[in-house]
């Protein structure tokens, strides 16, 4: 059976982040583009079928999230294109015991991760939040767990923080030209 043609590299936090590993999406039944519904950049942009496509993406995403939580497996959402969602509506629980990877993903609506517990590394490297994200009461417990955003500003303004991410932990980490800095919120 054909699979999605999306590939990239990532740092595997179970093995060690100093090595880059090859990631190939294993989603079956790709679209005509050769990509799955998570990686086809036009799938959620189709205004005519948006509601149906959004439902398809969220149903499949819900299955992936619940499988990772129930079976204590890493959650690979690398390069995903996701609509607005609330983790509470998607999952049976919010406790991720293994690493979670959203590297390079794009969120087209608001993403609510309220009260999630990331016990392993939670990687949001190079993520784009079009409408913002809420990380209220989220617990990052894994080694070097952080929310990383690419920013051109030396010190993010309060407007940028509130537009890009609403985050209620003690700090937000920003990666600025390979230099990490933390800012109180």
List, in order, residues 6 or more apart from 94 with CB less than 8 Å away: 69, 87, 88, 115, 116, 117
Categorize the per-residue pLDDT at 147 as very low, low, confident or very high, splitting at 50, 70 and 90: low
Strands 128-129 and 179-184: unpaired
Using a 10 angstrom Cβ sphere, with 0-12 exposed, 13-18 middle and 19 or more buried, the burial of residue 92 is exposed
Segment 91-142, tens digit of pLDDT: 778 899 999 999 999 999 888 988 888 888 888 888 888 888 888 888 888 7
Computed over every residue of the chain, the mean pLDDT equals 78
52-104 confidence digits (pLDDT tens): 999 999 999 999 999 999 999 999 999 999 999 998 888 778 899 999 999 99
> Residue 127 and residue 113: Cα distance in Å, rounded?
14
Sorted by where each begins, the domain ranges of the chain are 7-184
User: Which residues are CB-neighbours of 42 under 8 A, at least 6 positions away?
Assistant: 33
Q: Based on C-alpha coordinates, what's the Rg of the chain? A: 16
Round to whole Å and give the CA distance between 115 and 136.
6
- pLDDT of 58: 96
């Amino acid at each position: 059976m054909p699979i999605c043609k999306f590939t990239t590299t990532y740092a595997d936090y179970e093995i060690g982040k100093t090595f880059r590993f090859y990631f190939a999406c294993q989603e079956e039944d790709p679209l005509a583009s050769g990509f799955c519904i998570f990686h086809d950049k036009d799938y959620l942009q189709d205004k005519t079928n948006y509601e149906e496509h959004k439902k398809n993406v969220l149903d499949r995403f819900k299955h992936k999230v619940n499988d990772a939580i129930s079976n204590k497996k890493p959650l690979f959402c690398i390069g995903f294109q996701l609509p607005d969602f609330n983790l509470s509506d998607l999952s049976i629980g919010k406790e991720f015991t293994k690493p979670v990877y959203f590297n390079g993903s794009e969120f087209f609506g608001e993403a609510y991760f309220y009260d999630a517990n990331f016990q392993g590394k939670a990687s949001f490297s190079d993520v784009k939040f079009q409408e913002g994200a809420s990380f209220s009461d989220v617990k990052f417990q894994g080694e070097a767990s952080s929310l990383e955003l690419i920013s051109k500003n030396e010190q993010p303004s309060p407007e940028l923080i509130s537009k890009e991410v609403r985050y209620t932990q003690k700090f937000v980490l920003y990666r600025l030209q390979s230099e990490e800095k933390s800012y109180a919120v």
